[in-house]
């Protein structure tokens, strides 16, 4: 009779162990699903922010292009000072020694 109880106890232990393993795997699956849902929410927030920043970046790039073209226009209107510098240098070398 004692041997029978030991066998039944061993079988019960094996069954209990299997139930524990299954419950642990279910818990880990639930935790994994919770984490993935929270990560998806975080990703949505981040993608919204990045899309806003991309739009702002495009706007600033267009502003920069406009400003660069204005700068080039004003630079093209400015006269060169090479001839005046040469005249001053000649004058200084001639009269200011």
pTM, to two decimals? 0.47
Give the whole-angstrom CA distance, residue 67 versus residue 47. Answer: 30
Domain encompassing residue 81:
2-95
Domain count, the chain: 1
Query: What string of pLDDT tens digits covers the 97 residues of the chain?
Result: 778 888 888 888 888 887 777 777 777 778 888 899 999 999 999 999 999 999 999 999 999 999 999 999 998 888 777 788 888 888 888 787 6
């Amino acid at each position: 009779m004692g041997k029978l109880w030991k066998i039944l106890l061993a079988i019960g232990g094996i069954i209990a162990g299997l139930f524990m393993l299954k419950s642990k795997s279910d818990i880990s699956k639930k935790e994994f699903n919770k984490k993935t849902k929270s990560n998806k929410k975080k990703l949505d927030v981040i993608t919204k922010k990045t899309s806003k920043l991309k739009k702002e970046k495009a706007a600033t790039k267009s502003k920069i292009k406009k400003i660069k073209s204005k700068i080039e226009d004003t630079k093209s209107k400015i006269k060169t000072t090479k001839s005046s510098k040469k005249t001053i240098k000649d004058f200084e070398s001639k009269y200011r020694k």
